[in-house]
Structure 1
Amino acid sequence: MARLLELDAAGALTTAHVRAGAQVGGVNVRTVWRWLEAARTEGRMERRPRARLELSDQDWEALAQAGGNMSVLHRHLKESRGEVPSLASLHRMVRRDLQAGRVLPDRTVVRREREKQQTRQALADLALASPRQADAAKEAALRLPRSAPTAASAVPPSGESGALAGVALPTGAQLVRTSSVRAVSEAVGQAMPAEGAVCVFGDPGRGKTAAVRMTLGEIPPGWKVTWVPVPVRPSVAGMRRAVLGALALPGRFPHTSALADAAVAEALGEARVLVVDEAQRLPVPCLEYLQSPWHHPGTRITLVLCGAGSERALSRLPQLASRVGA
């Protein structure tokens, strides 16, 4: 097609050229003329992409719950989307995805996973919701009109717009509790009573920091939260200074490392969640430094390491990685 277009632009294109192109491509001559017209008017030399209906994870879950019954999936799509393909087309779509490697889970496995998720969410709510917040949530629920959408319960109790300190949102956007946020809440909620450690990792831009901030916006009374920013190319001295700066201790910076570590251990004697953001930058010496106050008998710390690739940094120090609960 590119060569035919060149000849067309030079005014040298003939019917013989089009006929030869059709013969080489194994198509009709009229098809080649139609392609040329599309290339002239639309600048397109490939086939026009065709709309392809894809089944979402929720659709596959509905199919699994129905034990693979396609008629049930067809009714589910009608209720959720309105216009759906025929049952035969739906069979072809499912067969195509199964041949591509998609696995249809067993109905019992799906039901068990849903029950586990509900149990985990209940544990997270019990671990992170204080009685005062629970009473406030009940009062807010009583004030809602009966026609209020149930999805409103997914918005965190951080203001009408869902705003949260440290999280920038586009205009009109709201924070909602996705399954990933609930998983982070569950992990941190279970680690806090045991003063354990949690590692939150994932691809950049997936909302790791936002999920941690949403979780720690609802911690019980008596707990404090300290965010420790990791400097670029951190050293032990740099991390010590970062921890002291995050704790905002009064007075001047201690002139020896022993005095600085003693001041940090004293400040960490009260219940506190220590969040280390951008933890993927941490070399082994800095991880050992963070492990030292966490293991100190006089401290009460829940350590949260957050960052894209933080799990790889953590694997360099097995004695710390082995103590991470989630």
Structure 2
Amino acid sequence: MLVARLLELEAAGALTTAHVRAGAQVGGVNVRTVWRWLDAARSEGRVERRPRARLELSDQAWEVLAQAGGNVAALHRHLKAAGGDVPSLASLHRAVRRDLEADLALAGPSEGGAAKVAALRLPPSEPGAVAGSSAGESGAVAGVALPAGARLVRTSSVRAVGEAVGQAMATQGAVCLFGNPGRGKTAAVRMALSEVPPGWKVTWVPVPVRPSVAGMRRAVFDALALAGRFPHTSALADAAVVGALGEVRVLVVDEAQRLPVPCLEYLQSLWDHPDTRITLVLCGAGSERALARLPQLASRIGAWQEVPRLAGAEVATVVSGFHPLWRTVPAQDLTWIDRSCAHGTFRTWAALTAHLQNALLTIADASIDRPLLRRLFQRVAPPL
């Protein structure tokens, strides 16, 4: 814009050195730079920056990078061994970071940043990969945030949750999913409900902070996306909610441990209503203790399904399927990581994966070794 305006002044015969000095101040550059821009505009007929040659990595280079667990230094050594013009290590780092950031910006939340991350373009049929969700080859499921390149893994706990939810749907019953925080309860439910039978709908009801019956009624109304404004009386709101729940539907209440007895009674009234056809899924760390405060509802729970920590025997297989970075780490080291830091908690493994990715992309010649991992442990574990 600056160069175009100066050219307009020059065409009108009004351009002076004062204009150029003012333009240099506005652009934050030297006066000679502005004169250079003007000379380029006159000789080349352009007012924008000269396009620079951009370093583009080939698909083969991305595959090498993926096989090296995202280690840019390893890719640089591979390119040097192959011969030809090889960019500097710093240039390679910038190119990888640029393309990763661009792909993550384009990836929608339902993709979890996994489906389009170029640095981990692995073929879907890669040997050793653990099957992810049926929602797609990337293993991404809507509502589940994953580190770039990660995919959900169907562990034994995930399969057990799927069976419990499926049985509850068959009888339009209720199921309680519980377990310590970070073990993957919500992800397991979303995987189980990623494909439901035709005619079924799935509605996730967020539990308000310090919920009241009025707040819970509003949360259910909003989650059902009912048309019109929220009714001004509870009777009208309940009538609208019951009408929508007349269709077969799974009603998932996450963070159910927050619910006081009156809110649980409200959910029970919706489930018991003769005009509703819902399967009730109550999920949360401590949800089983919350339900114990209302024996009438607890006695109606058809399945109590705990999501335990990841078993030590399946750590290596599951974590290697979760993210390609871990496929380059020996099984005994994965067991050491789990004992030292993750303790079978998927949320900790996900956080550690994200920190490891960042370290490999930003630290020259970084490699996955125990000193680096010990430093990352301090980032994912709170101080004692």
State TM-score, norm by structure 2. Answer: 0.46
Aligned position for 1:213? 190
Aligned position for 1:172? 149
**1:260 is matched by which residue type in structure 2?**
A
Check if 1:318 corresponds to 2:318. no
How far, CA to CA, are the matches of 2:239 and 2:266 in structure 1?
13
Aligned position for 2:217? 240
**2:301 is matched by which residue type in structure 1?**
V
Residue aligned with 2:282, SS: strand
How far, CA to CA, are the matches of 2:176 and 2:186 in structure 1?
12
Q: Deviations over 1:20-67 (max 9, x none)?
A: xxxxxxxxxxxxxxxxxxxxxxxxxxxxxxxxxxxxxxxxxxxxxxxx
**2:205 is matched by which residue type in structure 1?**
V
Check if 1:285 corresponds to 2:285. no
How far, CA to CA, are the matches of 2:297 and 2:159 in structure 1?
25
> How far does residue 172 in structure 1 lie from its aligned partner after superposition?
2.0
**1:200 is matched by which residue type in structure 2?**
L
Q: Deviations over 1:220-257 (max 9, x none)?
A: 11100000000000000000000000001001111111
How far, CA to CA, are the matches of 2:263 and 2:174 in structure 1?
16
Aligned position for 1:161? 138
**4+ runs of 1 displaced by more than 6 Å?**
none
Check if 1:227 corresponds to 2:227. no
Aligned position for 1:196? 173
How far, CA to CA, are the matches of 1:174 and 1:248 in structure 2?
30
How far, CA to CA, are the matches of 2:181 and 2:157 in structure 1?
15
Preserved contact between residue 135 and residue 195 of structure 2 (Cα < 8 Å): no
Aligned position for 1:250? 227
**2:224 is matched by which residue type in structure 1?**
L
Check if 1:181 corresponds to 2:158. yes
Q: How does 1:1-326 map to 2 (within 5 A)?
A: 149=127, 151-152=129-130, 154-326=131-303
**1:282 is matched by which residue type in structure 2?**
L
Q: Deviations over 1:114-163 (max 9, x none)?
A: xxxxxxxxxxxxxxxxxxxxxxxxxxxxxxx9x864754x2112222211
Q: How many residues align?
A: 180
Higher relative contact order (CA 8 A, sep 6+): 2
How far, CA to CA, are the matches of 1:213 and 1:309 in structure 2?
19
How far, CA to CA, are the matches of 1:161 and 1:190 in structure 2?
27
**1:218 is matched by which residue type in structure 2?**
E
Aligned position for 2:316? none
Gaps of 5+ in 1: 1-144
Q: Deviations over 1:1-26 (max 9, x none)?
A: xxxxxxxxxxxxxxxxxxxxxxxxxx
* RMSD of aligned alpha carbons: 1.5
How far, CA to CA, are the matches of 1:291 and 1:215 in structure 2?
23
Residue aligned with 1:303, SS: strand
Residue aligned with 2:220, SS: helix
Aligned position for 1:77? none
Residue aligned with 2:143, SS: coil
